[in-house]
Amino acid sequence: MNDILDLPAERDLPPDAAHAMRARILGFVSPPPPRIPRLRIAIAAAVLLAVASGAAAVVWDRPERSTMQVLAMGAGELSPTLRDAAERCLQWNSPQRQTRQAPGERPVPVALADLAVATERGDRALVLFMNDVGYATCDVDGAGTARESGGGATEPWPHGDLLPGPVQRLLLTSTEHDGGDVSVSGRASSRVHRLVLDHGDGHTTTARLSEGAFGLMTNDARLKAGNDPELVSYDARGTEIDRRPLFQAEDQLEHCYADPDGKRIYGKPTSDCRPAETWGR
């Protein structure tokens, strides 16, 4: 068996099914901006894929096995199965694998020490690596087993340590195309001392924050885009400093964000362009 596991081939779908799938994707993700990382995932169940504004979004079918959830912030908190998933992601992102990247792809070299957030539910795991260069993320199904499969995305930071406000969502997964069980991860500025997912129906889920990274998981199947769920940031005094729709693409944020020279680097053009914030590592 090869030391480096190539990603499995994507599933072929009948034209009508593929067209319907594309329509559902475009129904909850705004038109993508020019820069889009590639994301290739092939698993046994039907999968919908969508990528927007440097943030990977994945939708998968509900697993039939255990629904126990684990959230790790860093390599020191990994369960054995999450470690298997992280090591597989590193192999997929290895120098040998990078030599076979398609033209225009810009892979980011990562190591286990760069692991910022990892989650698992049942047989599926998600891992997110971040360093000075950029990020790499993978979805792995059946890590360490004979039926292991999955895929990933990798991209350098488009604007270094500058964020579109207090938080930048990098990875969003859900069991439904518009909600269901949800996992979210990304990076935050030093102003953020508490981050909460407001489900929009009176329920909330608090994210874990560690060294500028955040992660959260919720198994509230009632969470739907139609309830306008939002990520809400608070400062050290408990004052709300930011509120943004969970399912909104980065280029569709209410406010634009500018670098120190006043150049807009995030969001759509508006008259209310705010200063970008610095990643709080």
| Domain residue spans of the chain | 69-278
From 50-54, 55-59, 67-71, 93-97, the region with the lowest mean pLDDT? 50-54
Q: Where are the alpha helices (DSSP H) in the chain?
A: 15-28, 80-92, 95-98
272 CB neighbour count, 10 Å cutoff: 8
The pLDDT value recorded for residue 147 is: 81
pLDDT at 275: 94
**Can you tell me the mean pLDDT for 28-57?**
33
Q: Give the number of other CB atoms < 10 A from CB of residue 182.
A: 23
Of 23 and 252, the one with more pLDDT: 252
Q: What is the mean pLDDT of residues 2-17?
A: 43
Q: Is the pLDDT of residue 182 over 80?
A: yes
CATH domain 69-278 topology: Immunoglobulin-like (2.60.40)
pLDDT beyond 50 at 39: no
Question: Which amino acid belongs to residue 25?
Answer: I
State yes or no: pLDDT of 30 exceeds 50.
Answer: no
* 211: confidence class by pLDDT, cuts 50, 70, 90: very high
pLDDT of 103: 57
In this model, does residue 4 exceed pLDDT 60? no
Q: Mean of the pLDDT values across residues 16-42?
A: 36
The yes-or-no verdict on residue 238 having pLDDT over 90 is: yes
Sheet holding 69-72, edge to edge: 69-72, 115-121, 124-130, 134-141, 149-156
76 Rama class: left (phi>0) / alpha (psi -120 to 50) / beta? alpha
* 230 burial level (CB within 10 Å; 0-12, 13-18, 19+): middle
Higher-confidence residue: 1 or 264? 264
pLDDT band, very low/low/confident/very high, at 56 (cuts 50, 70, 90): low
Beta bridge partners of 51: 56
- Averaged pLDDT of the chain: 76
Q: How far apart, in whole angstroms, are the C-alpha atoms of residue 240 and residue 167? A: 13
Look at residue 10 and tell me whether its pLDDT is greater than 50: no
What pLDDT does 67 receive?
Answer: 60
| pLDDT in the model for residue 142 | 80
